A and B are shown apart, each in its own frame.
Chain A
Amino acid sequence: LKTGDWKTCATSGFCRRGRALSARAEEAGSSWHSPYSLDPASVSIAPADAAFTASVRSSIHPDAKFGLDVRVHEDGVVRVRMDEVDGLRKHYDEAASWSLIEEPSISHDVQWTVGKKDVRAKFGANEVSVQFSPLKVTLFRDGHEEVVLNGRGLMHMEHFRTKEGTAVPEVAEADDGAQKPLQVNAAAWFEGEEQDAWWEETWSTWTDSKPKGPESLSLDINFPNHGNVYGIPQHATRLSLPATTGPDAEYTEPYRLFNADVFEYLPDSPMSLYGSIPLMHAHSAKSTVAVFNSIGSDTWIDVKYPKKGSTQTHWISESGILDVFLLPGPTPEKVFEQYARLTGAPVLPPAWALAYHQCRWNYVSSDDVRGVQERFDESDIPVDVFWLDIEYAEGHKYFMWDQKTFPDPVEMIQDVEALERKMVVIIDPHLKRDSNFPAYQLASESEVLVKPKSGEGEYEGWCWPGSSSWVDFFNPGAWDYWKSLFQLSPRADGKWSWTESTAKVGIWNDMNEPSIFNGPEISMPRDSIHYGGWEHRDVHNINGMLFTNHTYQAAALRADPPLRPFVLTRSFYAGSQRFGAMWTGDNLGTWEHMAVGLKMVLANGLGGMSFAGSDVGGFFGNPDAEMLVRWYGVGIFNPFFRAHAHIDTKRREPYLLDEPYRSILRDMIRLRYAMLPVWYTAFHEASVTGMPVLRPQYTVFPKDEAGFAIDDQFYVGASGLLVKPVTEKGATEASVYLAEDQVYYNYFTHEAYRGSARGKHVTLPAALHEIPVLIRGGSIVPTRERFRRSSPLMKADPFTLRVALGADGAAQGRLYLDDGETYAHERGELVWRGFSASMDKKGKGRTLRIASEDLASRDPRGAVERGALGAYEARNAFAGAVEPVRVEKLVVLGLGARPTSVRVEGADGGELEWEYVAGVGADGKKEGKAGVLTVKDPAVSVARDWAVVVKM
């Protein structure tokens, strides 16, 4: 890391001002009060909606006017919006429009009441109060303060002013003769004496011209009754965010949200990284709430824990309006649902995208790609996707194949696709300024490139191809241009399009922070001009998302009927989950990066970006065999599973390792493939409910305080799989925390462990070939245990169901299937099954009934993202196609007694073949090897209702 490449709060004018404001408030103590107040006379309540507007004034700038708009949405989310009214200029007010999937519906039921001191509204257990003077917004639940805005009086929206006007502020006010001591600056107690970096700012060798002057936004957001905050990805830090101010501060800098290409980033730091999601969860044993601060500019966030069980945060943004959404929860599930309703749930990816991705900077030629594919097949290691980094493109002109090394791109892609594999090709947002490069030339012609600060011409910066320009995706004119580039068939107008490609090629969007080598903080000058005259500073964090948004849309149009595209992005913002996957960027091949990558993936999941992963093996460096094996152990449990390596590294494809490492890697990758049904089902649930695919401990056990800070183990969707990847050198065992009085089974050895309601740590074997994976008692896990060269080749293969009996003798599980590549599932072409096991005591013995039922018929709205499915036809064409797919094996864990009979329920159900290995039962207190019943080939269809009855 070159620290000099990056600003600190102290070298960033507006952050310096924000922290100074906070310091003055701290010093003033109880005498401090916010200068902002609401004019009660101005309150105007909408007749039918739970919305009101009002005027806000600041005592230090009586001439500045502000308008406040507060609404309660149908789901109880409270949106607080404040902007300057009739100012000299406009603050950027479009950030939310890029994030929200639609204008949220305002409640018609909730009523605002104007009181003496505040305006109030009650809904359910919640109540929101907007206090007049000083202005303060509080969300209560059962009378307790959940979220407080401006409770510490740090809210400050710097209004637009003229350079001259502010040079002699309010001196003329001394109308009773200039005898009394001159108050040079009436705002000084709040804003400070100096015009610190108001009109221009020089940092390193760059000068930011700041034509609009000071316009930053400071806001304190407090959670007086929540002791843990999570989210605001992306930072390389723990899930439960360490303090940045106060006595127990672990960092001296605030968390920063400023999308940046940080070379060799630190594994423990509040520094900004490639993506920014201004969403923070606050959690206590009583409730979970969240705040979505919809802002697109550089933002610094101080976190302080003034006392146990209480959190204060301070958000300082460079520009934009105040537009904050208070998500009332009160559970993690509710928060995820509320956030998904605002910015959208993660898109359901094509199924193959959940399989193994093999990348390297760079596979150097089409023959190299074919060679890698051959080596995988010789070693019988499954892989679905081969990636091409920037060197495929001649002169780094993306789309343009280097004819010398890739003379036959379409044939190469077809050779890969012949085995139902896919290729992903990188397309970066910087366009080489070369008039012979169609993508640049067409953009230049249609004038959709970002402009320099003059507002004229094309902004020019330096990136991989040398001198480059950037498409301004804020410009609607750029959207059709971008789509047209991806057209597979020659265009009618004769213009260029990427015909040397196929409809299934995935797209990798890198460097979209944007990364600009000769720009300030390796990015675009903040005074560069986007569409509508907005400066880059206003939209910086949103910029990367628009690029993937339009790439996603463009890629979807290549086939008819359309195929679900796969797009990977490095930069992201709130809403990016609608366009595909992200990865944690250029990590290092160290144990620290391996460990923190997992925490980052969990944090991104909280922010909606469930489809996340870290480069397996570490981007930089040459990991030894032990580290590489452990990294695959992490990778197969990352939602996005891709091995990638820097151009300077040695090749490290799994087949290159010596034994026993090669076989260990092969078995790990095969485990990922066996579990693909679990992953796809978890992604399906995420796409409907917004629940993250990887679930941190506190989201599963929100009342167990001992689990709030746990971020090195997690549950995979609702499957009941509890995983703790090993990220330590030389480990031989791992300690896993169990939060409940329930039996857990080692996935591999069937060892039964007993948790405790008070919380308990159990120790699992974790030699190099072992990954600590437990199945929570009460879960049914569907897998496919035949190994193919690629995941689509598994589509006719049978399923295995692991029935892990809970302490009560019951278990549930789910399985979602569709064609994995089109949008036919949105029309009900899908199979969504619920599995259940229940124990009955009838007559002499006991009976275990394991059954499969159709969930989609029962809950058609839960079957498809955003409830698009009106009705469901169980006999749909897809269900027909998978009808022959059977369950080939049932493995029942925790059966304490030997069965007397196992039959398929119904007409001619003869006795099935089965094996029983005696061991401990799910009930009781005993640990040790669980009793395991293996039922051979019940030959029941995965698409149909059935039941298998086990009598004991």
Chain B
Amino acid sequence: ALDKTHGVRPDLLARYAPQGSTWKCLDGSKEIAWSAVNDDYCDCPDGSDEPGTSACPNSSFYCRNAGHIGSSILSSRVNDGLCEPECCDGSDEKPGVCPNVCDEVGKEYRKKRDAERKMQKTGSKIRSTYIAYAHKEKTRLEGLIAELEKEVATREAEVARLREIAEHAESLSAADIEHKQKSPLYQSLLTHHTALKSLQREHKKHLEREKALGEVLDSLRTGYNPNYQDMAVLEAVRGWETLAGLPHINDVRKDESEGAGDAAAEGQVQEAEELEEGIWDAAKIEKELDKLLKEDHTSLLLQHDKHIDAPGPSILFDLSSYVPDSIRPEFEAFRDIVVSWLAAFGLAKPVDVSGSADFARQELSDSEHSLKLTENELKEARVDFGDIFDPKGFGPEGEWKKLDGLCLSKDTGDYTYEICLFDEAKQKPNKGGSNFSLGKFTSWDTQQEPGTPAYYHKQRYTLGAKCWNGPQRSVELVLECGIENALLSVAELEKCEYQITGTTPALCTPPTDDDATGKDEL
């Protein structure tokens, strides 16, 4: 018969002793004969009477593994004819079935463990530089914040000063400008401006729509396997390929000249439209249109006036050149009087002051802009400062700060996957076509407690580009300790949900003393 303590965990050994000829199940629910322990029949509801057999489901078996580390296996593995790697002493099977390989296994284990410890050590050294970096960053940010606060104060004062000047200048010329703005030319200019702006908006909308449609069709083209049954989908894909000059995906090369298809596609691209003389192409439209729309029309109006005034502003001013030299002084004196009168009645422009108002306004707006930039910088610096040692941000020791924005990539043949840490994950087709966002950084592993080591083994990137006929793409980045920051594998386990694995020294904590004393158990 089997030893009564066969398969018993060391901490429970004391409880496997008879009381007279009987024994109580560990949960106390039943008293059975001592002979019924390890007799390959399940008597106890908690399965405790069969530590060494497979008779009770959901219980466990302990292998001592002398020469290595003891371990527990599920009772379903006992006496099933297979030698469990966890039981190197072979005690999980009847004698003679499995050899005792604990010596070799132990040796192998120690070798592997040493290598792991070495890697962990190297990794943790790198990690400590990350932590040092975080502290440096903290100091830098503290300085930066102080500096920026000072700068904000300075800029605020400057804005206040400029505002006063601008308001003063404007108060002088407001009425004048108002008058000028009534000019039909100016009104027409405004209408043109509105039209141009509207057209630009519409154009942009169409471009975005076209891009979105292109993306929809691209993802249809690359991902239309599932409902392939539908020939209408196939037609759509082929139509898109023709339109976009893409090679036929999944198609069969009927002739062996592989390049034929690609060459045709290139030809299509080269067949660029010829533009009429003077007409802008797309790039120029984009560049020039914004410039046009940014023009300050009021100052343009004033410049216009200046320009009109310059060579021969009005007959009054111009007349002097036709007046004989003899009477010119008198004429000019008269003219000035008339002009001043006219000016008094608002019929002609005196010396132009609106230019300086416009300049002041520009100065103010520039200064306000600079203030805003500085304020934003400050805000960002404060957020960054807060994030550094936030358990939900760059970790309690700030060990992740160094990796913020670091881009890692993995080429899987058809695609290159890129993750810029704490930012965005992307899928880039290697054979052309558009990139897809696989999602933006959203969180660490929400299944785990923030601050615990397990929390930092997973990152979630969500709300990426939507899949055709599917969800928005997302990534689960699974990380392990390693001496390099690298991506190892990419798998789309479910439609549009990617699991990417990688390594980083940020996860390498120094090997603990416990690990080192593990030897004692051997």
Contact = CB atoms under 8 A, between A and B. Distances in A.
Interface of A: 261, 263, 364-365, 367-368, 380, 391, 395, 404, 418-420, 432-435, 462, 464-467, 515, 517-518, 522, 646-651, 670, 785-789, 793-798, 888-889, 936-937
Contacts of A650: 494
B44 to A, nearest CB: 13
A518 B231 contact: yes
A786 B76 contact: yes
Contact of A466 (B77, B79, B250): B250
A395 B252 CA distance: 10
Interface in B464-522: 469-470, 489, 491-495
B82 A793 contact: yes
A147 B43 CA distance: 60
Most chain B beta carbons < 10 A, residue from A395, A522, A786, A793: A786
Closest 10 CB pairs of A and B: A793-B80, A467-B252, A466-B250, A937-B41, A648-B495, A647-B226, A787-B76, A518-B231, A404-B413, A263-B229
B493 A651 contact: yes
Contact of B491 (A263, A364, A647): A364
B520 to A, nearest CB: 29
A787 B250 CA distance: 45
B250 A888 contact: no
A208 B495 CA distance: 39
Nearest to B57: A787
Contacts of A647: 225-226, 495
B58 A380 contact: yes
A765 to B, nearest CB: 22
Contacts of A788: 76, 80
A118 B96 CA distance: 78
Contacts of B226: 646-648
23 contacts: A364-B493, A391-B225, A432-B252, A462-B234, A464-B225, A515-B229, A517-B231, A647-B225, A647-B226, A648-B226, A649-B495, A651-B493, A785-B57, A786-B55, A789-B77, A793-B82, A794-B80, A796-B79, A796-B80, A796-B81, A888-B55, A936-B41, A937-B39
B251 interface: yes
Nearest to A915: B43
B322 to A, nearest CB: 87
A403 to B, nearest CB: 9
Nearest to A403: B413
A466 B251 contact: yes
Nearest to A377: B74
A794 B54 CA distance: 11
A517 B228 contact: yes
Given A522-B229, A796-B80, 17 more contacts: A263-B229, A380-B76, A418-B82, A462-B231, A462-B234, A517-B230, A646-B226, A650-B494, A651-B493, A786-B55, A787-B76, A789-B80, A793-B80, A798-B40, A888-B41, A936-B43, A937-B39
B194 interface: no
A618 B470 CA distance: 18
Contacts of A466: 250-252
Nearest to A433: B252
B412 interface: yes
Nearest to B80: A793
A434 B253 CA distance: 7
A475 B59 CA distance: 57
A565 to B, nearest CB: 24
B81 A261 contact: no
Nearest to B77: A789
Interface string B79-105: 111100000000000000000000000
B248 to A, nearest CB: 9
A786 B77 CA distance: 10
Q: Is the interface of B mostly helix, strand, loop or mixed?
A: loop
A435 B252 CA distance: 10
A518 B492 CA distance: 29
Contacts of A391: 225
A888 B253 CA distance: 64
Contact of A419 (B40, B82, B230): B82
A367 B491 contact: yes
A650 B74 CA distance: 29
Nearest to B56: A786
Contacts of B76: 380, 786-789
Nearest to A663: B58
B133 to A, nearest CB: 34
A418 B83 CA distance: 10
A435 B257 CA distance: 13
Contacts of B74: 380
A649 B493 CA distance: 10
Given A466-B250, A522-B229, A793-B80, A368 B491 contact: yes
Interface in B207-255: 225-231, 234, 250-253
Contacts of B54: 786, 797
Contacts of A467: 251-252
A464 B228 contact: yes
Contact of B250 (A368, A465, A786, A793): A465
A888 B53 CA distance: 13
Contacts of A796: 79-81
Contact of B229 (A465, A517, A648, A789): A517
B493 A368 contact: yes
A380 B494 CA distance: 24
Interface string B435-448: 00000000000000
A404 B494 contact: no
B469 A365 contact: no
B229 A367 contact: no
A620 B79 CA distance: 40
A461 to B, nearest CB: 11
Nearest to A464: B228
A518 B233 CA distance: 11
Contacts of B228: 464, 517
Nearest to B467: A648
A786 B82 contact: no
B247 to A, nearest CB: 13
Given A466-B252, A796-B81, A888-B41, A367 B234 contact: no
Contacts of A795: 81
A794 B495 CA distance: 37
A889 B58 CA distance: 19
A590 B412 CA distance: 37
A522 B229 CA distance: 8
Contacts of B231: 462, 517-518
A464 B494 CA distance: 19
A783 B227 CA distance: 43
A658 B491 CA distance: 24
Interface string B31-56: 00000000111010000000000110
A20 to B, nearest CB: 32
Interface string B152-196: 000000000000000000000000000000000000000000000
Most chain A beta carbons < 10 A, residue from B39, B54, B77, B234: B54
A797 B75 CA distance: 13
A368 B494 CA distance: 11
A367 B491 CA distance: 10
Nearest to B495: A648
B413 to A, nearest CB: 5
A785 B56 CA distance: 9
Nearest to A647: B226
Most chain B beta carbons < 10 A, residue from A368, A418, A420, A787: A787
A367 B489 contact: yes
A467 B77 CA distance: 49
Contacts of B494: 649-651
Nearest to A440: B252
A777 to B, nearest CB: 27
A364 B251 contact: no
